[in-house]
Structure 1
Amino acid sequence: MDEATGLIVDLGVLLLCAAFVTLIFRRLRLPVFLGYVLAGFLIGPNLLSHSPIHDIHAVHSLSELGVVFLMFYIGMEFDISRLRKVLMPAVLAVILQTVVMILIGTQMAPLFGWGGVKGIFLGALLAISSSMITISVLQSLGRINRSHAHLAIGILILEDILAVTLLVLLSGVAVSGHVDWLDLWKVTFVIAVFTVAVYCLGRLFAPRILKLLESFNDPELTTICAVALMLGLGTLAVYLHLSVALGAFLAGSILSQSSLAHRIEHLTAPLRNVFCAVFFVAAGMLIEPTEIIGYWWQIILMSALVVIAKVGTVWLGLFLSGQDADTSFRASVVKAQIGEFSFIIATLAQTLGVANSELMAIAVGVSVLTTIAGITLSIRVNTIYEAIASRVPPPIRTLGEFYRNLVGEVRVGVGRIFLWRLLKRPITQIIITFFLLNAIILSVYVFNGYIKGNNGLAEYRNWIGPATWTLAAVLCLPFFSSILRNLNAIVLIVTDSVFSGTSAKQYLHGRMQNIFTTVSVAGLAVLVGGIYLSAAAEYLPSGVALAAFVILVGGASFFFWKRIIHVNSRLEYLFMDSFNQRSREEEEAREASALEEISAKYPWPVNVKEVVLPALSKACGKRISELLLREETGATLIALSRNGQVLYGPEASARLFPFDRLYLFGEERQNEAAKRFLEEKRAEGRHDTSTPTLKVEKLFLPKDSIFVDETLASANLRKTYGISVLGIQRGQHRMTSPRPDEVMMAGDMLYVIGNPDTIRDLQKNHPRQERSEPVMDDLLSAEE
């Protein structure tokens, strides 16, 4: 049997076993991926003397596509606005988890008779949770769109980036015996440059390519292009010594939220399912019973420590960042296991001679036990959390609630700081532009490295180097000017703020701006010039790089500065035109589905009921405060209509008269109870049909609404539009009778009462903020 035929046979046997266990585990309502692991163990070489799988190495290589397709799927579900919301909690959780896991590994190593380097490898393989398992559990339990799932996925994305960094760091540790912080800084910087450049350029060109694919309407072409992008970016990441999973994730994130996203996800789902099955079966083949039995007590001990430490550290990180205890606990439980990257780290330890097979045995054993424990905890998370919460002393619970509220107030307060709101955009713009500038330098560096290593191109090296580095300098100039412009904007904002209202303003204002501008220009030139020269010097004659850079920058600054600024503005416009095109396509669909989505996820069965007060009602002649309507029935009197006039939020001292139209707000049972209370001893009477009808509707606030960041009082909805806000729903959080100083935010759902025609017109023609000419500082806001 030749190699190709053998791989086909191996794949056939593997998928037959996977299909068989899928049927059994579906019937038993158990997670299917556990069945895949079991199938791999049963047909693997460690259980059978003659395994039906002939080429184990080829199967394991093929199984890596499972990780690639999974990361592509996660990228397809990626929304940068959601990631920004969970970024800080995720960062804090990952830092705490990683530090504690590596500490556990280094402290447990002497107990196992191992050295310090092996302990670092042990802690590293314990620190990374399994994206495959976590996503599969969330999907199986129908929780993939819950808030705790978004937190967990945000942590997983950061862990994948951490895993790439750890692989580089551990390689240096194995050779030198200590942590090489310089290598750690280099790989982190390269990851940041690669991520920003690929994401921004992908978002720039993706809409045009997707529009072309949409015009062909060919599923085969769409599938091939999507997989080509995924594997192409994965290959580029590998060429830069990064993770193929990172490239696949970026490919998915580029296509996410696009018009073809759902179609691409549907077309690639069968491939993802097949290769994910191959991955788990291949992982099961790694299980070696004899070694696992030999390390049984280490595996049990480490599994218990992993579950306890991961749940504890991730929960603590999320809670300290201001998340509620329930959501934090659910997000921490679902990822209390280790997985695919742990196997990669264990394999690296064997390759570098740090360990034999003991780390792999522990990795496999701990992965199986922690996966079972994590699934069990996830299924019973409600019961477990209630049991733990019921045993927390009331003072501790009160303190935790106070802390969470305090963090929320601080976050809102920082967001309202006027100076920070002015500085946030230019600072963000500088960071993005700086990474794009370095992406140009890095690309030319990699290209020249390829030319240098290719003997067939030796005769072209003398002129390719100077030509490409001169081109790089020219391409960097627009980005250089963008950073300078934003630095000047920051200086202007800060000096205006510092010297505003002082007697020395006229004297110091211009002088300080000139000083800061000169310092910023000099500092930026040194920084960018240093990066450029350090990369170019290897491929240019001595002194040529410095002279070329100085002459080019100086000459361009003197003769072509206005033209460079114009080119930079055009680049900014191209970026924003691409982002805004996608944003416009999505906004209408988001607004249309927001009501349905929020109502389905967080149902709030409240409505308004209209009651005409009978002439002989006991309520006639009484003040509203005397009725105790809310205390007796739970419903709230929100409006009073009399003689064609509508009074919103009537005073408690107002009296009620026969034939008043009362508008009650509450749940159905509350409104019915209030109606019976008010209509007691009702007599027939003539109703005033001239009184306008009121209705409660839901009003969704898009990101560019003029009401966003306004308080209810400053928006003046009652006077301008004749409506009153009864409640606000913000995710899971609901506010009835919000205070006038409550700030409205993008994505809020407002429960408003007023004339139905007015509300419908407001929903259809929602007032939006006017946009100025697109600039690069809108790059981030286009994703919100």
Structure 2
Amino acid sequence: MGHLPKLIEDLALILIAGAIITLLFKRIKQPLVLGYIIAGFLVSPHFIFIPNVVDQENVKTLAEIGVIFLLFSLGLEFSFKKLVRVGGAASITAFTEIIFIIIAGYFTGKWMGWSAMDSMFLGGMLASSSTTIILRAFDELGMKTKQFARIVFGVLVVEDIIVILLMVLLSTIAVTKEFEGMQILFTVLKLLFFLAMWFIVGIFLLPTFLRVARKLLDEETLLILALGLCLGMVVLATKVGFSAELGAFVMGSIIAETTLAERVEYLIKPVKDLFGAVFFVSVGMMIDPKAMGQYGAPILVVTLLVILGKMISTTIGALISGQPLKQSVQVGMSMAQIGEFAFIVATLGVSLRVTSDFLFPVAVGASAITTFTTPYFIKFSEPLYNWLAKLLPGRWVQKLDSYSSSTQQIQAESDWKVVFKTYLRIILSNTIILIALLLLSENFILPFINKRIEHDNLRNSITLIVSLGIAAPFFWAFMAGRPKNQAYKELWVDKKYNRGPLLIVEVLRIVLGILFIAIYVNALVPARVALFVGIPITVLVILTFSNRIQRFYQRIEKRFMRNLNEREIEAEEAHAIENNLQLKNREMRSNMQAWDAHILEMDVNPQATAVGVSLKNLKWREQFGINIVYIKRGEKIIHTPGKENRLLPFDRVGILATDEQIAAFKPVFDAKELLANDDTDNTSIDDIVLQKILVDEHTQLKGLTIHNSGIREKTNGLVVGIERGKERILNPESSTVLEWGDIIWIVGNRKKMQQLIVE
């Protein structure tokens, strides 16, 4: 008997235990995450009554893969545009809550005598609420469509992205053991730079590649490609000093901007569910009941901090953002819990060996308690508001409502603000690209050239030509790219007050651009060469070939914007096709009004008798006098379909006819194929057979066509072949004339075929 690796035995134990416990939790309507955690405890060494997991190291590896796919899936649901669309109210609320709870968590940990690292990780664990738990509670209570729920969803989106950044910061601090403000600031700037760079490069390359390869991407290939991209970004993120989780999240958010996002999300879900289950079970394996009992007091303190701290800080944040008191209280009561991210942050501390053993059971205990209390807090949020409204002085409530109303009535941004934001976007985006190109030149191009060319002047010349040739379009955009919005045009037209400040902005940009060129060139070649050769030549080339560089940059920008807005463009195109179709229908309806005819759209039922039949064989025009003008199939439209075209399920058919013709035709169009009737209800599968019938004096079929013979109706079957002497006719046409001695092969009902022979 072959040797079975322990990992397979452990995986079988983990999945069976997870399945049984989660079935129980579904029955009692509790979060599946807690079910997985309890299943993990049951298969851990701390529970001795059933077999335990043996190969814990390999299970930890599978759990790390689970975290990667969980973050990748979160990125697919996220998208950077969603963060932009969240709005100021949700952002202000989220930042207020997160800053408060992180600081409160840190000082609470220090108050309980914990180390600085344990206290920092505690603050990070408390920063995020559980999207899954809140959504489930809203569904059960029927509050998903309430006004305050929109703010809650926005806060959850902001929380997710901030917690991802916190994980990177915590892991960096844990590894370097440095708490200096400048070091943390440098880490934040480095993180933001790489996030922006990955996003820009990913949006420029990935949607284009997927668009070209779309026809070749079946489900299997797309799944393999998505997983490969995810793990590739994980490797890249770890190579530059960030966490694997960040890389997975970034790649998911990039794919989320493509038109294949929903397909990838659908395909990746089973993989995420499998490895995610292993991760949460592995979390449960770390639970030590003795530690839970020993640290009952810290669990209670952290639970109270989560409930009261999140409730109060979120309510205050909502009030500051301009929400009415009632909505603010409802938002605060909805956010009073911690969820899955607490386990991920706690696991990060354990894997880095920088947190104490007690931190993990504290996180699990607080999460379990707040999970059960969440629905009750949401349910009683309105009664709490009513109590507060009576308790607070009337003038306070009036001032809060007045502040909310005035905040909601803030007017749109001024033209200058819009223009400055556009300038800032141009400068920042091109600065990020230029820094990335400089790093590319220093780490790859320069070493490659230095190894192969010994002559200094030649080496410096080639380095400058290659590096600056790549960077020239972005230097041009940095110094000369102008906003393309209406606000800039309106300011430029107003010469008296606005053109002077705009010219000052342009001059400052050019000066900054030249300084940037100096820094760029000086990093690649010796200072003397940079000062007397590199900088003057670079500026001269950009000025001389300004028009060509501008056109090249505009092509790059156009592709980037096309990829960035690909989903919206595709939706608009589909909407435009639909609108154009409706316009044409109205136009034709108007033109045919004198004929008492119009176009009616009808959807093809999947069970319609017409499905799969060619228009030639349907003969609808001959029988009913109607004309099929078009067939809309998904995003494609078949104009004036020919006689060989066939109708498929869910096609939308445009039919030109009069009211009388439609009335006669509609029952035929809507007719469904009867899968069962009185004659076949009692037919078993064993009664369906392939049987042959001889054309002789008993069957009396000689001289009849298959269609006129009534074989199909009499046997409830199909003629699949005819033997005629030595000739065999497979799937004969219905117009085939039956001859004496033919052997007809029929797939049909045994009893009915016997009756046919008897007749």
Q: Same fold (TM over 0.5)?
A: yes
Secondary structure of 1:67 counterpart: helix
Q: Which residue of 1 aligns with 2:546?
A: 561
- Cα distance in 2 for partners of 1:36, 1:194 equals 35
Q: Deviations over 1:86-118 (max 9, x none)?
A: 253444334323432343244334532345554
Q: Describe how 1:286-685 pairs up with structure 2 within 5 A.
A: 286-324=286-324, 328=328, 332-339=332-339, 341-343=341-343, 345-346=345-346, 355-374=355-374, 376-377=375-376, 381-393=378-390, 395-410=395-410, 413-415=411-413, 417-444=414-441, 447=444, 471-486=466-481, 501=496, 516-527=505-516, 529-530=518-519, 532=520, 536=523, 550=535, 553-579=538-564, 581-587=566-572
What is the identity, as a one-letter code, of the residue corresponding to 1:156?
A: E
Give the letter for the 1:484 counterpart: M
Please state how far the C-alpha of 1:16 moved relative to its aligned partner: 0.8
Q: Distance in 2 between matches of 1:137 and 1:458?
A: 63
Number of equivalenced pairs:
569
Displacement of 1:304? 0.8
Instruction: State the 1:40 CA deviation.
Output: 0.7
Structure 2 distance, partners of 1:115, 1:566, is 58
Q: 1:101–1:309: 8 Å Cα contact kept in structure 2?
A: yes
Looking at structure 2, the residues matched to 227 and 523 of structure 1 have their Cα atoms a distance apart, in angstroms, of 42
Letter in 1 for 2:199: Y
Q: Which residue of 2 aligns with 1:599?
A: none
Q: Which whole-Å deviations, capped at 9, do the CAs of 1:680-711 have from their partners, x for residues lacking one? A: xxxxxxxxxxxxxxxxxxxxxxxxxxxxxxxx
* 1:194-343 map, 5 Å: 194-216=194-216, 218-256=218-256, 258-324=258-324, 328=328, 332-339=332-339, 341-343=341-343
TM-aligned CA deviation for residue 51 of structure 1: 5.4
C-alpha displacement of 1:224: 1.2
Amino acid at match of 2:173: L
Shift of 1:293: 1.5
Q: Which amino acid aligns with 1:387?
A: L
Range 151-160 or range 274-283, more displaced: 151-160
1:263 Cα offset (Å): 2.4
Partner of 2:163: 160
- The one-letter amino acid paired with 1:518 is V
| Conservation of the 8 A alpha-carbon contact between 2:322 and 2:407 | yes
Structure 1 residues 352 and 247: alpha-carbon distance in aligned structure 2, compared to 1, 3 A threshold = closer
Structure 2 contact 234–247 (Cα < 8 Å) conserved: yes
Q: 1:22 to 1:120 in 2, by over 3 A?
A: closer
> CA separation of 1:370/1:29 partners in 2, compared to 1, >3 Å: closer, same or farther?
closer
Q: Amino acid of the residue matched to residue 409 of structure 1?
A: Q
Identify if the C-alpha distance between structure 1 residues 583 and 354 changes in structure 2 by more than 3 Å, giving closer, same or farther. Answer: closer
Deviation digits for residues 293-340 of structure 1 (CA, Å, limit 9, x no counterpart): 111111111111122212222332233223455655555555533455
What pairs with 1:737-752 in structure 2 (closer than 5 Å)? none
Work out the CA distance in 2 between the residues paired with 1:28 and 1:546: 74
Give the Cα–Cα distance (whole angstroms) in 2 for the partners of residues 593 and 405 of structure 1. Answer: 40
TM-score w.r.t. the length of structure 2 is: 0.65
1:583-610 Cα distance to aligned partner (Å, 9 max, x none): 331125579999xxxxxxxxxxxxxxxx
In the other structure, the counterpart of 2:153 is: 150
**Is this contact kept in 1: 2:22–2:35, CA < 8 A?**
yes
Q: Please state whether the residue corresponding to 1:127 is helix, strand or coil.
A: coil
Partner of 1:175: 177
Which residue identity does 2:227 align to in structure 1?
V
Q: Is the 8 A contact 1:93 1:318 kept in 2?
A: yes
Give per-residue Cα distances to partners, 1:692-732, cap 9 Å, x unaligned: xxxxxxxxxxxxxxxxxxxxxxxxxxxxxxxxxxxxxxxxx
- Counterpart CA distance in 2 for 1:586 and 1:214 is 17
1:482-501 deviation line (CA, Å, top 9, x unaligned) = 122247999x9599689854
Indicate if the aligned counterparts of 2:427 and 2:478 stay in contact, CA closer than 8 A.
yes
| Aligned mates of 1:560, 1:588 — CA distance in 2 | 36
Alignment deviations for residues 339-369 of structure 1 (CA, whole Å, 9 cap, x no partner): 5554565566567776532333433333333
CA distance in 1, matches of 2:304, 2:3: 43
Output the CA distance in 1 between the equivalents of 2:578 and 2:94: 33
Whole-angstrom distance in 2 between the partners of 1:70 and 1:571: 33
Structural RMSD (CA)? 4.2
CA spacing shift, 1:405–1:76, aligned 2, 3 Å: same
CA contact (8 A) 1:423 1:493 kept: no
Cα distance in structure 1, aligned partners of 2:264 and 2:26:
26
Note if contact 1:25-1:35 (Cα within 8 Å) is conserved in structure 2: yes
Is residue 419–residue 483 contact of structure 2 (8 Å, CA) maintained in 1? no
Q: Report the CA distance between 1:144 and its aligned residue.
A: 7.9
Question: Shift of the alpha carbon at 1:280?
Answer: 1.4
- Secondary structure of 2:221 counterpart: helix
Cα distance, 1:267 vs structure 2: 1.7
Matched residue type, 1:427: L
SS at match of 2:204: helix
Counterpart code for 2:316: L
- Aligned counterparts of 1:340 and 1:3: Cα–Cα separation in 2: 37
Counterpart of 1:481 in structure 2: which amino acid? W
Gaps of 5+ in 1: 595-784
Closer, same or farther: CA 136–64 of 1 in aligned 2, 3 Å: farther
Deviations 1:637-687 (A, max 9, x none): xxxxxxxxxxxxxxxxxxxxxxxxxxxxxxxxxxxxxxxxxxxxxxxxxxx
Name the amino acid aligned to 1:151. Answer: G
Partners of 2:125 and 2:218 in 1: CA distance: 43
Aligned partner of residue 191 in structure 2, secondary structure: helix
Q: Which position in structure 2 is the counterpart of 1:108?
A: 108
1-side partners of 2:220 and 2:193: how far apart?
A: 33
Preserved contact between residue 131 and residue 156 of structure 1 (Cα < 8 Å): no
- Matched residues in 2 for 1:138 and 1:590: separation? 32
- Deviation (angstroms), 1:53: 1.0
CA contact (8 A) 2:422 2:483 kept: no
Give the TM-score, by structure 1 length: 0.63
Given that 1:207 and 1:582 are in contact with CA atoms closer than 8 Å, whether structure 2 keeps it comes out as: no
- Amino acid paired to 2:511: A
Structure 1 residue 37, shift from structure 2 partner: 0.9
Letter in 1 for 2:153: H
Return the alpha-carbon distance in structure 1 between the equivalents of residues 139 and 443 of structure 2: 40
Task: Quote the Cα distance in structure 2 between the aligned partners of 1:593 and 1:308.
Answer: 51
Deviation at 1:15, TM superposition (A): 0.9
Distance 2:174 2:285 in 1: 26
1:691 alignment counterpart: none
CA distance in 1 between partners of 2:530 and 2:358 (Å): 51
CA, structure 1 residues 136+469, in 2 after alignment: closer, same or farther (shift >3 Å)?
farther
Call closer, same or farther: CA 1:421–1:356 in 2, change over 3 Å.
closer
Point out where structure 2 has 5 or more consecutive residues left out of the alignment: 580-759
1:225 and 1:323 map into 2 onto residues whose CA distance is: 44
